[in-house]
Structure 1
Amino acid sequence: ALTVMRLFPDDIRSVILDSTLPTQIKLFNTLPAVRQHAYDTLFKGCAASATCHATYPQLESVFYQLVTDLNAKPITLQDAKYGPVALDGDSLASWVFVMLYVTQLIPYLPKAIMQVSQGNYDLISRLYGVLMLQNDVSDGMYYSVECGEDMAFTTAQDLSSAAVGMHKEIQPQMLADLQTQYRLCQLWGEHPVPTVQKQPVISSLPTLILSGEYDPITPASNAKLALQTLSHGYLFQFPATGHGVFNTDNCPDTIVSAFLQQPMTKPDGACIATMSAPNFK
């Protein structure tokens, strides 16, 4: 959307950026910090909830110990859709990360983590396969886009440096995944996009920017960065919300509707104050 704004401004009336990635960000360099932020947001959210904290007082330490233990001794769970599935610590961490995309599933994460730590795989067996094993992403399309748009502007040393700040339990898998993608892009042969495409988009188009508090891949810092060069931009952050804000609650939908009707006027965001933190189970 941002690139279209840059290339075809005269053809656009108004813009909605829902869970955005500013063009100037070098995606792969930011992924370790973004992923760590996603876990931190979950654990801080639970600690701030009286019910969640009372029920799962050691959630963060339990999670990281569980990653270590399952990497040392993986288990096999019976997935509701796919049958027997091997689960190690890295797989568990990836599943928690992906669960944070889905607003409706976020409240179940503390309970699911604690269940696994107790040898109970009820929740994860119902939600693991549908999120992790469905082959609904084209790897060819992914690498054709990402190798040219982002990895071409990254070095192997950049990736190693980026992973330094992660918790030691999840750092090795993150770095290994980044290095694998880096090597694949070296073989993929995709040419880098023009360098202008990696510059900030400067625009006066009316732009509504939506950001979810729990979004694991495009955090609020992305939205704030995009806003800096959008002179008629309106940014709203929504609590208890994952990736993709629209259609998760009546409040963002009302704001979107108001913006579409009058894009030159900042919508009233008072309804955000009525939204609560995740109702952790």
Structure 2
Amino acid sequence: MSLRPPHHRRTTRRLPAALAGATAGVLAAGLVAAPAHAESGPAAPLGTVARTAGHARFVPGPCPRTADPIPALRTANCGTLTVPETRDRHHGDHGGYGDEEHEGRKITLAVAIIPAATKNKAGDPIVWLAGGPGDDAVSEIPMALNGGLNRDRDLIFMSQRGTYSADPQLTCPNVDQFAADSLGLVFGAPSTGRLHVEETRKCRDRVVSRGADPSAYYGPESAADYDDLRKALGIRKWNVFGISYGTNLALHYMRLHPEGIRSVGIDGVLPPALAGGAVTWKAAREGYDGLFKACEDQPACNTRYPNLKATFERLVGEVEARPVTTTVTVPGHPAPVKVVLDGGVLVNWLASATHVAAGVPRSIDELAHGNPRRIAEQWAGGKLSPQAIGRTSHGLAYGIFCREWTPYESEADIVRAGQRLFPTFPRSVLVNAPFLTWLHPDCRAWDVPPADPSIRDRTYSDIPTLVLSGGFDAQTAPSSGAYAARTLSRSIAVTVPYVAHVVFADSKCAQTMTVSFFDRPDAPDTSCLAGLTPPAFEIAP
């Protein structure tokens, strides 16, 4: 239950304004020139000196353990940042410090600093904010390096509180294992929901058994952690780059701790003011329509798969009424796997499958003609992937969902949003927004207090910001980027056509724009947008 990229992408993860036509657009919102020169860096290499800032302390040390080997860590400077688990609540959600009696327990967050590829580097590094929520930033180092983000700047990765390389580590493999084990159950059945909520209760018990306070793991505390990290590393100015949920955190960070931020890039935007089930229905509508329109505009695809949108929406209703059961073989799992496809599965499958858009029309057509194999294989492959088990911090994810989202959006709000955008879908599908199945029942089991209403405030800022969206983004909505940009007076919003959620991971054009933005926040190079072409959709014989 997380908004994250699917595991078949070439990224360690999980969790908009050019819509149906997915055409490239650049929305400049009063961007004025920002200094292009680098800020002066500290005398010693980053991450090699122990420093204290307020009640936080950075100590150099070994690089964190990771679920997969990351060769770049061999040349990294690493250590840990120690911070209060719970800052003074009298400061509301502003992440302020109080007296020692209010702080109590300390937690540690792993830090890895990847040096710039050139010796003649800029003095202002880039700090990376991971997605999820609940993903570990250190695991996303390969994505950042593949995109050339360390060309002339050091990159800083810190595990958000509760994630894989933090202490405490609030992963709950039982929740992931349930998702795998339930492939043979009807996805949207109330009985499946009750089982899911029981796993959530077990997860909460696990978090509490580790001495953690479930209410301390959410956005404003994480934003304060990053402010502490900057100060503890002795950095006067740095740049911020957030992907997926990391964009939500970046917007909190800009609102609560703007000092010390030179520029910000956000990719796959989830504004705090919108976060919840309604926006995931909006994302599904926009991402689906972008893909359907691209097929319609391609004569070979439109001829072979006419009325693709209507076919898909009809199938959602049909398989919800009469779920389809099949058996498939998944790599790494020699035994056949039973898979049940219902309407909720189709909705979630397509929201992820926009990442492999070229095969989507064929997969939908095959299901319409009685062959569910391709869709079932992709659905099962994501749930059974080694990357899907034991790596997500559900302790952080539920803290965010249940303190920041569900208190400000009812179950009826989610259903109404779905009905407005997908009027033919049955209510049994609409109650579970994409990627957020059983969200409200889970949060009742998680039992944490709501965050202060300011958690839903929009971010108003004049910090130079690059706002990236994908025309096929069915996870956070292409239009959400333009929404966030409207209150960022020095922003430039770009929709990269034909690309799904987190364009930096999959688009060379997005990577070029991002690197050029951090060099010149007043004038990023967007010229590559003009040469982008749609995918060549698979045409079945």
TM-score, normalised to structure 2, is: 0.48
Q: Does the 8 A contact of 1:255 with 1:268 survive in 2?
A: yes
Amino acid at match of 2:338: V
Q: Which has the higher contact order (CA 8 A, sep 6+)?
A: 1
Matched, 1:280 2:537: yes
SS at match of 1:13: strand
Q: Which amino acid aligns with 2:536?
A: N
Change (3 A) 1:179 1:209: closer
Q: Which residue does the alignment assign to 1:266? A: 523
Q: Which residue of 1 aligns with 2:265?
A: 16
Counterpart check, 1:186 vs 2:444: yes
Q: Establish whether residue 52 from structure 1 lines up as the match of residue 327 from structure 2.
A: no
- Check 1:154–1:126 CA distance in 2 against 1; reply closer, same or farther (3 A cut): closer
The one-letter amino acid paired with 1:79 is: T
1:124 aligns with 2:124: no
| 1:174 corresponding residue in structure 2 | 430
Q: Structure 2 unaligned runs (5+)? A: 1-249
Q: Percent identity?
A: 27
Which protein is richer in strand relative to its size?
2
CA displacement at 1:10 relative to structure 2:
1.3
Amino acid at match of 1:8: H
Q: In structure 2, what is the equivalent of residue 242 of structure 1?
A: 500
Q: Which amino acid aligns with 1:40?
A: D
Question: 1:74 is matched with which residue: 302, 311, 324?
Answer: 324
Query: 2:24 — aligned with what?
Result: none
Residue type at the aligned position of 1:180: W
**8 A Cα contact 2:323 2:340, kept in partner:** no
Does residue 162 of structure 1 match 2:411? no
Return the alpha-carbon distance in structure 2 between the equivalents of residues 29 and 80 of structure 1: 33
Of residues 469, 472, 486 in structure 2, which corresponds to 1:211?
469
Could you tell which deviates more after superposition, 84-93 or 53-62?
84-93
Does structure 2 conserve the Cα–Cα contact (< 8 Å) formed by 1:67 and 1:88? Answer: no
Q: Which amino acid aligns with 2:347?
A: A
Give the drift of 1:130.
2.5
- Is 1:86 the counterpart of 2:339? The answer is yes
- Judge which range, 250-259 or 34-43, deviates more: 34-43
Conserved? CA contact 1:234–1:266, under 8 Å? no
Unpaired segments ≥5 residues, structure 1: none
- Is the 8 Å Cα contact of residues 210 and 235 (structure 1) preserved in structure 2? yes
Deviation at 1:192, TM superposition (A): 1.7
Contact 1:80 1:125 in 2 (8 A): no
1:247/1:39 CA distance change after superposition, 3 Å? closer
Give the Cα–Cα distance (whole angstroms) in 1 for the partners of residues 437 and 353 of structure 2: 24
Partner of 1:29: 278
CA distance in structure 1 between the aligned counterparts of 2:394 and 2:450, rounded to whole angstroms: 18
Q: Following the alignment from structure 2 to structure 1, what is the Cα–Cα distance between the partners of residues 327 and 464?
A: 49
User: Does structure 2 conserve the Cα–Cα contact (< 8 Å) formed by 1:70 and 1:87?
Assistant: no
Cα-Cα RMSD: 2.2
Which deviates more, 170-179 or 183-192?
170-179
Question: How many residue pairs end up in the alignment?
Answer: 277
| One-letter amino acid of the counterpart of residue 206, structure 1 | P
Counterpart CA distance in 1 for 2:443 and 2:507 is 38
**31-40 or 228-237, larger mean C-alpha shift:** 31-40
Native 8 Å contact 2:287 2:500 kept in 1: no
Moved more, 130-139 or 150-159: 130-139
2:128 aligns with none
Instruction: Find the residue that maps to 2:271 and give its secondary structure.
Output: coil
Residue 408 of structure 2: aligned partner: 153
TM-score, length-normalised on structure 1?
Answer: 0.89
Match of 1:231 among 469, 479, 489: 489
